[in-house]
Amino acid sequence: MAIATVVGTGQAGADPLPGFMLAGQSARILLYSRPNRDVDVTRLERSLSRVEQLLGQRFAGRLVYYHYDCREEVAFATGHYADGVTFADLAEVHAVDRVTEHELVHAVAWQLGNPGSFFQEGLAVALGDRGKWWGKDVNKAARKVAVETGLSALIARFNAAEPGDGYFVAGSFVSWLVEHHGIARVGEFFRSCDGANTGAAFARVFGQTVDEAGTSWRATL
């Protein structure tokens, strides 16, 4: 059962998607939903503010948020069979309620920098899902799959579009980074990345290689 989050690009449109109506708006958010759905832009604002405070980064621009009832609706509208999809370049989130804060982390963190999908998803699980993935504690789940291989190899195999054990590993490792180095240092790491220099940025910010940090993390599981 797919529950992936996809961070990528989309196609801009001036009008809302067919079947959606403007259900609420604020100075920073446009909230679209199906007619007669119980949605609250104030609650969405609070969630966005929480994520901003955690990351020390104010979201730039105006967020467009589409509220869905199920992942089948998300798939029909976006082409991605997922509970949530964030098109970061458009500042556009498509999500069911359960993954709202996960997707908001993506929207804000993408503006920090791009260390790759492993760290993007790991941060969203750590902060947005509060260390759980599909209701399971990521540390307990990661313990079963974090075999004696370098973390860099696990990162290389990570596929954001096919969630599974990789999300437990990513969520657990990034949660460990936040716990041991602080969210400000993790934010500094994101800001140092442009999608191509992740390994060097990691070593510079955290003072050890990804695999060295992976060994320390694995010992705590």
**Of 84, 88, 36, whose CA–CA distance to 63 is shortest?**
88
CB 109 within 8 A of CB 120: yes
Pair 128, 84 in one domain: no
Pair 125, 64 in one domain: no
24: tokens are: 């609420």
> Which among 50, 82, 112 is the end of a domain?
112
- For the stretch 3-43, pLDDT in tens is 445 555 555 555 789 999 999 999 999 999 999 898 999 99
- How wide is the angle at C-alpha 144 spanned by C-alphas 167 and 154, nearest 5°? 45
Pair 105, 182 in one domain: no
Q: Cα 194 to the chain's mean position, in Å?
A: 17
Residue 30 burial (CB count, 10 A): 18
CB 68 within 8 A of CB 74: yes
Number of domains in the chain: 2
Pair 104, 32 in one domain: yes
> Which among 112, 136, 153 is the end of a domain?
112
Pair 102, 14 in one domain: yes
For residue 28, the 8-state DSSP code is S
Q: 194 φ, ψ to 5°?
A: -125, 15
For residue 10, the model assigns a pLDDT of 56
Whichever domain contains 88, its CATH number is 3.40.30.160
Pair 29, 99 in one domain: yes
Pair 121, 190 in one domain: yes
For residue 9, the model assigns a pLDDT of 56
- For the stretch 35-94, pLDDT in tens is 989 899 999 999 999 999 999 999 999 999 999 999 999 999 998 888 999 998 889 999
Pair 126, 139 in one domain: yes
For residue 194, the model assigns a pLDDT of 83
Pair 108, 121 in one domain: no
Q: What is the pTM of this model?
A: 0.92
Pair 101, 154 in one domain: no
- Report the C-alpha gap between 55 and 175 in whole angstroms: 13
Residue 38 burial (CB count, 10 A): 7
Give me the domain span that covers residue 53: 5-112
Pair 107, 17 in one domain: yes
Residues facing 136 on adjacent strands: 133
> Which among 112, 142, 164 is the end of a domain?
112
Q: Give residue for tokens 């609706």.
A: 73
Pair 75, 172 in one domain: no
